[in-house]
């Protein structure tokens, strides 16, 4: 389904998309956070891009771990350790692989959810990236279990993530910087849930 070269292309495409959307993501974060989400993530993925020569020819697990470490080192905001841990855990789960199949999508999303939960000490319903990530993981898994192909499963995952982003507008933040706003966070979508959905869309376009 996806080989090493394609993983590098997907990482590159995620970086381009995040860079394109950095002002939008930062604007969302201005309202309920500290206004750096897009800028920080774009800086992180620029560093991932710089690491590309080091990743070439390596197994997919190593690629994802390297990308995760680059994010941890350069993002500078909460999304650094969160996405960094997510990518590193996914890399660990895919150690030695040179080709991914549909079921590996679930492995990656499981690792993302577990990584973010571990690092952020958070659960669903706290208005965080998990509110897009968990429904996306569940939808991809359900679609594959029902015998659908990877492309369809990812499309259903993206739809579930988008619904998750909408859901974050309806709840009060109890985790992260937005939790200081309490009820004033109502009505605003979570920037982390949004950036995760952006990344998943890029993956869906490339599979």
Rounded distance between C-alpha atoms, residue 22 and residue 42, angstroms:
6
Contact between 164 and other proteins per CB under 8 A? no
DSSP-derived letter for residue 185 is: G
Cβ proximity of 150 and 144 under 8 Å:
yes
Binding map of other proteins across residues 118-137, x = CB under 8 A, - = no contact: -xx-----------------
Question: Minimum distance between the CB of residue 86 and other proteins, rounded to whole angstroms?
Answer: 12
Residue 82 vs 130, nearer CB to other proteins: 82
Buried b (16+ CB within 10 A) or exposed e, 15-38: bebbbebbeebbebbeebbebbbb
Number of residues near other proteins (by CB under 8 A): 19
Rounded distance between C-alpha atoms, residue 38 and residue 198, angstroms:
11
Rounded distance between C-alpha atoms, residue 134 and residue 192, angstroms:
13
Residue 141 vs 177, nearer CB to other proteins: 177
Among candidate residues 29, 12, 9, the one with its CA nearest the CA of residue 20? 12
Residue 76 vs 125, nearer CB to other proteins: 76
Tell which positions 17-76 bind other proteins, by CB under 8 A.
34, 36, 40, 72-73, 75-76
Question: Minimum distance between the CB of residue 126 and other proteins, rounded to whole angstroms?
Answer: 13
Q: CA-CA-CA-CA torsion for 180, 17, 72, 190, nearest 10 degrees?
A: 20
Question: Minimum distance between the CB of residue 125 and other proteins, rounded to whole angstroms?
Answer: 19
Q: What are phi and psi of 3, to 5 degrees?
A: -100, -175
Tell which positions 85-104 bind other proteins, by CB under 8 A.
85
Residue 41 vs 93, nearer CB to other proteins: 41
Rounded distance between C-alpha atoms, residue 3 and residue 205, angstroms:
15
Residue from 97, 137, 141, 177 touching other proteins (CB under 8 A): that is: 177
Question: Minimum distance between the CB of residue 78 and other proteins, rounded to whole angstroms?
Answer: 4
Residue 145 vs 180, nearer CB to other proteins: 180
Binding site for other proteins (CB under 8 A): 34, 36, 40, 72-73, 75-82, 84-85, 119-120, 176-177
């Amino acid at each position: 389904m996806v080989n090493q070269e394609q993983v590098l292309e997907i990482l590159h495409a995620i970086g381009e998309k995040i860079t394109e959307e950095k002002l939008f993501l930062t604007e969302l974060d201005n309202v309920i956070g500290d206004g750096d989400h897009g800028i920080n993530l774009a800086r992180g993925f620029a560093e991932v891009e710089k690491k590309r020569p080091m990743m070439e020819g390596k197994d997919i697990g190593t690629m994802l771990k390297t990308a995760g470490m680059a994010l941890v080192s350069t993002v500078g905001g909460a999304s650094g350790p969160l996405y960094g841990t997510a990518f590193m855990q996914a890399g660990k789960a895919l150690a030695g692989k040179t080709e991914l199949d549909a079921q590996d999508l679930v492995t990656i999303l499981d690792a993302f959810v577990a990584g973010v939960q571990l690092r952020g000490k958070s659960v669903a319903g706290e208005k965080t990236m998990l509110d897009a990530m968990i429904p996306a993981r569940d939808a991809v898994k359900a679609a594959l279990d029902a015998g659908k192909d990877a492309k369809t499963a990812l499309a259903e995952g993206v739809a579930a993530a988008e619904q998750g982003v909408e859901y974050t507008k309806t709840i009060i933040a109890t985790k992260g910087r937005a939790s200081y706003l309490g009820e004033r966070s109502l009505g605003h979508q979570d920037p982390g849930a949004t950036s995760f959905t952006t990344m998943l869309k890029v993956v869906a376009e490339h599979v």
